[in-house]
Amino acid sequence: MADKLDFMTELAKDVDARKHGQTSSFGTINDFVPKNRVVRETDYDREQDYENTRPVSTRPANQRPQPQAYEQPRQEYTQPQQVYEPQQEYTQPQQVYESQQGYDTPEYEEDYQETPVFTEPVSNNDNEETRPASFHEEERVKIEKPKFNLSPIMIGGAIFAILLIGFLVWFLFLRAKIMMPDFTGKTLTEAANWAKQNKIDTNALARTYEYSLEYDNDVIISQTPAGGTRIKTSTPITFVVSQGADPEESVDFPDIKSMTYSELNDWKNTNKLTKTKISTEYNTAVEKDKVISYELKNVSEGEFKRGSTLTIKVSKGPAPAGQVTVENFVGKSFADAATWANTKKVMIVKQEINSDKVESGYIISQQPASGQAMAEGDTFTVTVSKGKGVKIPNLVGYSKEQLEAWSSSKNNNVTIVKKSIYNPARLGSVIAQDPAAGTILDSGDVLQLTISLYMPILETNSRAWLGKDYLELKAWCDDVNYNGADIQAGMWGDWQYATCSDEYPTPGQIIEYACYYGTSDLADGCGRPLNNYSRINMKVSSGPCTVPTPTPEPTPTPPTPDTTPSYLLNKAAIADLDKIMEFCNKNGMACDYKQNDDLTPGTVKVSFNG
C-alpha cells in the first residue's frame, strides 16, 4: 500500500480547485490515515490534567467551529477503532481546521509533541457525519522521566577534576618555589647575600659554629635543608659554620732545626698554624733554606698547640756584596735600631706616632721589612711610638666640677695650664681651650684652658671705699684689668679737684665715688657686678675744712682729808679708754662712751661738759 497522503494538503487543493471550477481528484479518506504516532507524556499528562484539555479559542462563538468534544474515558489505543469513509464528494468545506485559520495557540502546546487539534468537516448533509480515522484520539504512551544516575565515568571525571584543581592551587600558590643551593664550602657572606636576594625571612636563618681542620674560618661545613631542596621564604635554614682549626688542639712539635724552608711551610699549612710566622734573612753562618733560630712565646715545645705563637728565621744565605740584611726591630727600642744602622752604614729616619699598644720609645714598624736586603747608605725608616695619645674633647662650657672629673682620669695625662679672666660665663667654667677639640696630645703635653672669673665686684657694702686712699682703688683696677677687664678709676668733671672734708681730713681719702658706663651713677650702684668697661669717678679729700681747737687738760683736784680721794686724768690717761672709764667711775661721774668711725684708729676723743 502506498504511503498515505497528507489530508490537509489534499483538502486545501480540492477546495481551491472547486473555487476555480476545476475537477478535483480527491481520494478516499483511507488515503489520509496517518501512521501511528507516539506522543510523549509530560508532567501535564497526569490523569487529572486530561479534563478540559481542549484549548479555548478567543474567537466569538458564532465564528468558532464547534468540534465534537471527546467524552470517552481516556485509554490507550493501538490503532483507530474505525475509519469513516466519505459518503459523497465535498463541494465546499464549511469549517477550516484551526491550524489553517490561525486559532490561538493551545494553552498546553509546550506539553505535547505533535498533538494538533482538528475540527471535523461537515458535509452538505447535516445528518451524516463523515469523519476520517485521523480525527479519533491518537495513541498516547507515557514516558517515564529517567532518574539521574552517576556513571563510573562521570564519577572518575569529577575526581580527576577535583585533583587537577587541587594540583593547580598547590602548584601556583602553595608549593615551595625557591631552590636551595648547596653552600657547603662557600662563605657565610655568600649565603647571606643569597638569602637577601630571595627575601628569606631573617628569623628563619640560624647558624652554629664548630672547629674544622678541613674548612677555613667562616666557611660553611653543612646546611639544613640540603642543596637542591625547594623551600619557602619562611622555611627554617641552619648553617654549620667553621671557626677554623681548633687553636687549643695539641700539635706535635717537630725538629725544626733539621727542616728546610719548604718543609716548614708544608708543616705550617697542613696543621693550619695561624700564629706561626716564617721569615727569611741573609746569613753567612747558616746554609740557605736552613733555620737560623726559632722562638716560642709562653709555651714549651711539649705543650705546643695550634694557636701558640712561633717565630722562625730561615737563612737566605750570604748577602750579595755591598748589601745589608735588615733585621727585625719591631718591638725593640729606637736606640737598638740606631746602633744597628750605624754599624751597617745605613741612614735611619725616625717617625713618631701615638700608639695605645706600644710603649713610648719602642718601634711599631720598619721599612724595609726584616730579612730584606738594602744597600749601604740607603735609608732605613722606623716608626716609633709616642705612647698612648690623649684625644682632647670640647671642654668649652665644662663647669669647674666637670673639668676636675675629666682631668683626674689616668688616661688624660696631659698638663693643664689655666688662665682666669673676667667673663659673663659662670664662675669657674671653661670659656676657651688650646689646642682645639679633636687634637691628640702626647702624655705630658700642655693643654691651656681659659677659666671664667665672672664679672668684677667693686664692693661688698655701699661704703667699702669711703675713707680709703684713692691709690688703693687704682691698684684694684690694675688687678682686674690684668685678668681681662678694662676698668678705669679717676677724678673727672666736678670731682677733678680735691675738696676739704672734716669727716675725711686726711688728704687723698675718698670722699665719694660713683660708677658709669652701664652701671648706676649713684654711689651704691657700684655694688653690682661691674661691666668690664666701667669707669669709676671719685672725689678725694684735700684735708680738714676747720682746724680743731685743742681740748685743755683737766686740772686735777687735790684730795681733801676725810673725803673720797679723787683721781687725776693726765694726757697719757686720756689716750686709754679703760683709764677714762676708771676715772669716771671713781669720781662718780656720768660718762658716755660712743664709737666714732671718723676718728683715726687708735685715738680717743674726750669732751668735757658737753
Round to whole Å and give the CA distance between 605 and 610: 12
Residue 183 CB contacts under 8 Å (≥ 6 apart), including other chains = 190, 191, 194, 220, 223, 227, 239
pLDDT band of residue 413 (cuts 50, 70, 90) is confident
pLDDT at site 30: 58
pLDDT at site 459: 81
* Per-residue 3-state assignment (H helix, E strand, C coil) for 1-52: CCCCCCHHHHHHHHHHHHHCCCCCCCCCHHHHCCCCCCEECCHHHCHHHHCC
pLDDT band of residue 100 (cuts 50, 70, 90) is very low
Q: Is the pLDDT of residue 569 over 50?
A: yes
Residue 264's Cα: distance from chain center in Å?
51
Q: Is the pLDDT of residue 96 over 80?
A: no
Burial 276-295 (b: 16+ CB within 10 A, else e): bebebbbbeebeebebbebe
Residue from 244, 236, 233 nearest 194 by CA = 233
Q: For residue 297, is it within any domain? A: no
Q: For residue 596, is it within any domain? A: yes
Residue from 182, 238, 188, 248 nearest 217 by CA = 188
Q: Is the pLDDT of residue 104 over 70?
A: no
Q: For residue 271, is it within any domain? A: no
Average pLDDT over residues 22-28: 61
Amino acid letter for position 302:
G
Q: Is the pLDDT of residue 408 over 70?
A: yes
Of 202, 223, 242, which residue sits at a domain end? 242
Whether residues 1 and 114 fall in one domain: yes
Q: Is the pLDDT of residue 534 over 60?
A: yes
Whether residues 567 and 536 fall in one domain: no
CB 86 within 8 A of CB 135: no
pLDDT band of residue 338 (cuts 50, 70, 90) is very high
Q: For residue 364, is it within any domain? A: no
pLDDT at site 372: 86
Radius of gyration of the chain (CA): 69
Q: Is the pLDDT of residue 101 over 90?
A: no
List the domain range (segments joined by +) for residue 398: 390-452
Whether residues 409 and 495 fall in one domain: no
Q: What is the pLDDT of residues 125-163, one digit of tens each?
A: 444 445 554 444 556 666 666 666 777 888 888 888 888
Residue from 341, 277, 340 nearest 314 by CA = 277
Round to whole Å and give the CA distance between 158 and 165: 11
pLDDT at site 505: 92
pLDDT at site 597: 62
Average pLDDT over residues 103-123: 43
* Helices then strands, each counted (H, E), the chain: 10, 24
pLDDT band of residue 603 (cuts 50, 70, 90) is low
404: CATH: 3.30.10.20
Q: What are the phi and psi torsion angles at 450 (to 5°)?
A: -105, 125
Q: For residue 339, is it within any domain? A: no
Q: What is the pLDDT of residues 159-200, one digit of tens each?
A: 888 888 887 776 666 667 788 899 998 998 999 999 888 888
Cβ of 338: how many Cβ atoms within 10 Å? Answer: 15
Cβ of 529: how many Cβ atoms within 10 Å? Answer: 14
pLDDT at site 98: 42
Mean residue pLDDT of the chain comes to: 75
Residue from 303, 312, 309, 213 nearest 251 by CA = 303
Query: Between the ranges 28-37, 56-65, 187-196, where is the mean pLDDT highest?
Result: 187-196
CB 65 within 8 A of CB 128: no
Q: Is the pLDDT of residue 381 over 90?
A: yes
What proportion of the chain, given as a percentage, has pLDDT over 70? 67
Overall domain count for the chain: 5
Round to whole Å and give the CA distance between 596 and 610: 16
CB 204 within 8 A of CB 192: no
Q: For residue 255, is it within any domain? A: no
CB 408 within 8 A of CB 416: no
Q: What is the pLDDT of residues 385-402, one digit of tens each?
A: 887 778 888 989 899 888
Ranking 67-71, 317-321, 333-337, 551-555 by mean pLDDT, the lowest is 67-71
pLDDT band of residue 112 (cuts 50, 70, 90) is very low
Average pLDDT over residues 217-232: 87
pLDDT band of residue 522 (cuts 50, 70, 90) is very low
CB 283 within 8 A of CB 315: yes
Q: Is the pLDDT of residue 464 over 50?
A: yes
Instruction: Record the cell numbers describing residue 201, joined without a space.
Output: 625571612
Ranking 254-263, 450-459, 510-519 by mean pLDDT, the lowest is 510-519
Whether residues 69 and 182 fall in one domain: no
CB 184 within 8 A of CB 211: no
Amino acid letter for position 327:
E
pLDDT at site 202: 84
Whether residues 539 and 563 fall in one domain: no
Of 102, 122, 145, which residue sits at a domain end? 145
Assign 362 to helix, strand or coil. strand
Round to whole Å and give the CA distance between 254 and 304: 10
Q: For residue 574, is it within any domain? A: yes
What is the sign of the dihedral through the CA atoms of 410, 412, 413 and 416? negative
pLDDT band of residue 68 (cuts 50, 70, 90) is very low
pLDDT at site 69: 44
Of 490, 510, 543, which residue sits at a domain end? 543
CB 503 within 8 A of CB 545: no
Whether residues 102 and 210 fall in one domain: no
Bridge partners for 375 per DSSP: 323
Whether residues 63 and 116 fall in one domain: yes
pLDDT band of residue 504 (cuts 50, 70, 90) is very high
Whether residues 219 and 91 fall in one domain: no
Q: What are the phi and psi torsion angles at 63 (to 5°)?
A: -105, -10
Whether residues 131 and 67 fall in one domain: yes
Q: Is the pLDDT of residue 300 over 80?
A: yes
pLDDT at site 560: 54
pLDDT at site 28: 56
Whether residues 447 and 488 fall in one domain: no
Q: What is the pLDDT of residues 350-375, one digit of tens each?
A: 998 888 788 888 999 999 998 888 88
pLDDT band of residue 105 (cuts 50, 70, 90) is very low
Q: For residue 14, is it within any domain? A: yes
Round to whole Å and give the CA distance between 337 and 362: 10
Whether residues 489 and 396 fall in one domain: no
pLDDT at site 273: 87
Greater confidence (197 vs 607) lies with 197
Q: Is the pLDDT of residue 515 over 70?
A: yes
Bridge partners for 499 per DSSP: 541
Q: Is the pLDDT of residue 99 over 60?
A: no
Whether residues 76 and 213 fall in one domain: no
